[in-house]
Structures are given as C-alpha cells and as structure tokens.
C-alpha cells in the first residue's frame, strides 16, 4: 500500500521519440557489435557472448522537479517510463497486470506471482503453458480496442496485489489514467515502455521493480542478442538491395492487410519491403480492409498470412489464383503457439518471428539453427522443453508449399 503522504507524483510522459532519439543503429554501431571482445551476435548467448546493452533508460534519473520521497525501510522509490515516481514494496509476491501485452512480457519474470490474467489463454497455448496458469482468474485490461475497458478493479482489489503493471506503448493521458487507478486500488500502478527495440530496457526495469534482476537480465540478454543480430541482417540485405517485397494478410476472408509503420509492423519494417501502401495505417492488429483489386494492383510476390486467415484454402480460391505469390507457392502462415509470432498483441513473441522470418526469406544470410533458437526461447520464456516434433508442428504451414 502507498501511504497517504507518499502519493504518486506525475511527471511529463516520455514519448516514443524520447526512447528512440537516435533512430536506430548506425553502420559504425554494427561494426562495433561484431568487433567488441566477447561479442557473438550469431552465437549461443553463453556468458561472454552477449551484446553489450545499448538500451536507453530514460527513467533512471529522477525528474529534477520531483520532490523526494522517503519510502521507509521496507519499500523503495521506483520511476516508471512515464517519469512517475511511486513507493513500491521491496518484497513483491502478488502482481496484477493491466493488459494482454503485459501478460506476455511479465510471464517469464513473475508467472508464479500473478494473481490474475488480462485475458484467458487460448487453447493453442495449452501445450506450452502449465495448467495452473490457465486456472488464474481473468481480471481484464484497461486499454481495449474501441476505447472500452474490461479491467475489473473490484476483483483485482479482492485478490490483494501489491503492484499493478502495464507494458507496451504509451497512450494519451496515460499518466492521469494510471494515477486514478492507483488511487482507486491504493496500490502503485507502473508502466514500462516495451517496443521491439526497447525490450531489453523493459526487462531490466521489470527486474528492478520486482526484485528479480538475475532472471530479468537473462531474458534481456537474449532479447538484445536476437535484436542486434536482426538489425545487422537488416542492414546486410538492404546493402545488397535484397529486401523481399511482402504483403501481410489478415482476416477470415483475407481482405485485410497490415500497413507500415505501426507497432504491429516493427519486425516487417526491419526485414522486408511492406508493399501495403496505405496512407493511414490502422493501429489495430487487424489491419486495414482492402479489396481484391487492390491486392492485384500490389501483386505481391510473397504473402504472409496471419493465423486464422485463408492460408489453407487460398490455393483453391479462384479469386486469388492470379496473384503471383499464390501461383508460385510463395505464401506462408505465421506460426501460432502459444501466441501469434508476428504479434497480436505485439509483444515479445515477435522475437520468434524475427528468428523464423529472417531465415525463411534470407537463408543464405541468416546462418543459424532456427530450432535451437526457438527451443531456447521456449525454455526461457515458458519453462517449456520444446521437442523437434513439436517444433515441426508449429512450423508445418510456415515453410512454404512443397
């Protein structure tokens, strides 16, 4: 609980620009990544092979205008990604989460401390997530498409969490929203930014917040290594002028696409030329509605279908028979388990997408063993030992028609 004289003090929110002022790694940075002693971005991630951390931590220094707080002997002052300071217990054993993205992000750090879920696990997650987590109550999420909230504050309060956590992209008026919920529940509510390129930062902050720095650092190192390698691959294929033109198709009728740039297309924007040329890209993971005439105008040579779209029937659909990707069997379905690897929500499972998609499209450049990389992820994030047979099943529709 926060004492009455230790209320959260709002500060100016950090925008995405604050996190990403540099706007990506320079070529000199890539060279440095490959030459620094002990750095092996294509390696196994063993001690001594990790990429040195380059994540920005905009909240590590308290805002100068923020008055100091005396947290007492059993608490400490935490600064979240919005610049808000709050008093947090040193020993946190009960954690509530604010949304589906936070559910995925926090799981490898504090699964056994969660008092509830933002949303129920799908059946596709059943093989990988222990049954005890399926039994957790669903407490809802605050930021839901369409502006409605399903967050059940009464149930959260009855479960007695010590902290409520959200991760992801900052929203308009977010500091005010979180301050209000914190006052209603009488517990601190923390936000930690988590974009594709700030994931390691997010895990370092979670480790600080939850008192689990060792596990958080292990996960952060994995994310740093995979992201840095993918950035190098991105530059390599760009310099070769070899980026593949790709269309990402969603929807049960296959008539929605993801256009860039949004949080949902961050992996795409690294690795491909997204040919969905739409002036106002939807911020929803469902994408923008289009028609067949538009798809034929783009005439993609490669298509990635979202899980649940028309991958399994498109070959026999006469409306699609003239599309180059379909004629040439250059279409694939995103792996799905325990989540859609491409996103939905756009959380840390996208690191799996980076591993899979880079080698799918650029096998001569992406020189690593996909199974080994994915197996490592499943152990680290879900404590699940992924077998070769299970891996083959996950990618059954993701390696192309033979």
Tokens of 221: 């190192």
How far apart CA 179 and CA 402 sit, in angstroms, is: 55
How far apart CA 133 and CA 119 sit, in angstroms, is: 11
Through-space distance between the first and last CA atoms of the chain, rounded to whole angstroms: 59
Task: Please list the pLDDT of the chain residue by residue as tens digits (402 residues).
Answer: 333 333 333 333 444 434 333 333 333 333 333 433 334 444 443 333 333 333 444 444 455 456 677 888 999 999 999 999 999 999 999 999 989 999 999 999 999 999 999 999 998 899 999 999 999 999 999 987 656 788 999 999 999 999 999 999 998 899 999 999 999 999 999 999 999 999 999 999 999 999 999 999 999 999 999 999 999 999 999 999 999 999 999 999 999 999 999 989 999 999 999 999 998 888 888 899 999 999 999 999 999 999 999 999 999 999 999 999 999 999 999 999 999 999 888 999 999 999 999 999 999 999 999 999 999 999 999 999 999 999 999 999 999 765
pTM of the model: 0.83
Q: Nearest Cα to 392, choosing from 371, 368, 373, 376?
A: 371
Task: Please give the helix or strand (H or E) that residue 190 lies within, else none.
Answer: strand 189-193
Helix (H, G, I), strand (E, B), or coil: what is residue 191? strand
16-21+56-211 is a CATH 3.40.50.1980 domain: yes
Q: Is the peptide bond before 352 cis (omega within 30 degrees of 0)?
A: no
Q: Look at the block and give the residue holding tokens 């440095």.
A: 32
290 near 275, Cβ under 8 Å?
Answer: no
243-394 is a CATH 3.10.620.30 domain: no
Cβ neighbors of 217 (< 8 A, separation 6 or more) are 203, 204, 207
Q: Nearest Cα to 349, choosing from 214, 183, 178, 222?
A: 222
How far apart CA 122 and CA 125 sit, in angstroms, is: 6
How far apart CA 211 and CA 2 sit, in angstroms, is: 18
Tokens of 202: 């997010």
106 near 382, Cβ under 8 Å?
Answer: no
Cβ neighbors of 5 (< 8 A, separation 6 or more) are none
Check for a shared fold between 16-21+56-211 and 243-394.
Answer: yes
Give the residue extent of every domain in the chain: 16-21+56-211, 243-394
The sign of the CA dihedral 2, 5, 6, 12 is positive
Four-CA torsion 131, 137, 142, 143, nearest 10 degrees: 30
């Amino acid at each position: 609980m926060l004492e009455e004289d230790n209320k959260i003090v709002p500060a100016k929110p950090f925008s995405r620009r604050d996190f990403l002022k540099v706007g990506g790694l320079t070529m000199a940075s890539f060279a440095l990544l490959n030459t620094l002693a002990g750095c092996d971005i294509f390696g196994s991630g063993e001690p001594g092979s990790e990429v040195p951390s380059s994540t920005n931590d905009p909240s590590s220094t308290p805002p100068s205008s923020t008055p100091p707080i005396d947290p007492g002997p059993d608490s400490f002052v935490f600064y979240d990604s919005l610049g808000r300071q709050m008093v947090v217990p040193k020993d946190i054993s009960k954690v509530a989460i604010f949304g589906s993205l936070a559910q995925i992000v926090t799981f490898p750090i504090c699964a056994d401390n969660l008092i509830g879920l933002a949303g129920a696990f799908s059946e596709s997650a059943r093989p990988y997530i222990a049954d005890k987590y399926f039994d957790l109550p669903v407490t809802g999420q605050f930021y839901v498409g369409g502006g409605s909230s399903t967050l059940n504050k009464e149930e959260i309060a009855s479960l007695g969490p010590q902290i409520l956590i959200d991760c992801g992209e900052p929203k308009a008026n977010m500091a005010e929203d979180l301050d209000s919920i914190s006052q209603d529940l009488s517990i601190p509510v923390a936000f930690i930014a988590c974009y594709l390129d700030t994931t390691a930062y997010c895990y370092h902050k979670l480790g600080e917040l939850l008192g689990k720095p060792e596990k958080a650092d292990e996960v952060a190192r994995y994310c740093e290594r995979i992201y840095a390698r993918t950035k190098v691959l991105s530059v390599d294929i760009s310099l070769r002028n070899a980026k593949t033109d790709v269309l990402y198709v969603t929807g049960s009728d296959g008539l929605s696409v993801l256009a860039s740039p949004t949080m949902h297309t961050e992996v795409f924007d690294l690795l491909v030329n997204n040919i969905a040329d739409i002036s106002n890209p939807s911020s929803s993971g469902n994408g923008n509605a289009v028609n067949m005439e538009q798809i034929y105008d783009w005439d993609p040579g490669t298509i990635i279908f979202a899980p649940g779209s028309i991958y399994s029937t498109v070959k026999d659909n006469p409306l699609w028979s003239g599309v180059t990707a379909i004629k040439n069997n250059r279409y694939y379905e995103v792996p799905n388990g325990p989540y859609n690897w491409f996103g939905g929500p756009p959380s840390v499972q996208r690191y799996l997408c980076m591993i899979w998609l880079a080698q799918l499209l650029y096998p001569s450049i992406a020189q690593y063993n996909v199974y080994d990389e994915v197996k490592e992820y499943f152990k680290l994030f879900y404590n699940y030992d992924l077998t070769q047979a299970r891996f083959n099943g996950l990618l059954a529709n993701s390696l192309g028609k033979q």
